[in-house]
Amino acid sequence: MAKQKPKKVRKYGKGSRPCVRCGSYGPIIRRYNLYLCRHCFREV
């Protein structure tokens, strides 16, 4: 297998904060410090 570089640490933008439930970097709901993606927010 080829070597892979570790993920670059992002300070801002979509790649800076993953969903706390599933770990995706897509549409995150940050209101009230939830940090859940849109899909997990609807399931909870």
Q: Which domain holds residue 39?
A: 16-43
SS3 letters across the chain? CCCCCCCCCCCCCHHHCCCCCCCCCCCEECHHHCCEEHHHHHHC
| Residue 5 belongs to some domain of the structure | no
Number of domains in the chain: 1
What predicted TM-score, i.e. pTM, was given to this entire model? 0.71
Q: What is the pLDDT along the chain (44 residues), one digit of tens a residue?
A: 678 888 888 899 888 999 999 999 989 999 999 999 999 999 98
Q: What is the CATH number of the domain that holds 33?
A: 4.10.830.10
Question: How far is 4 from 30, CA to CA, in rounded Å?
Answer: 30
Q: Which residues contact 20 (CB under 8 A, 6 or more apart)?
A: 35, 36
Q: What is the pLDDT of residue 44?
A: 87
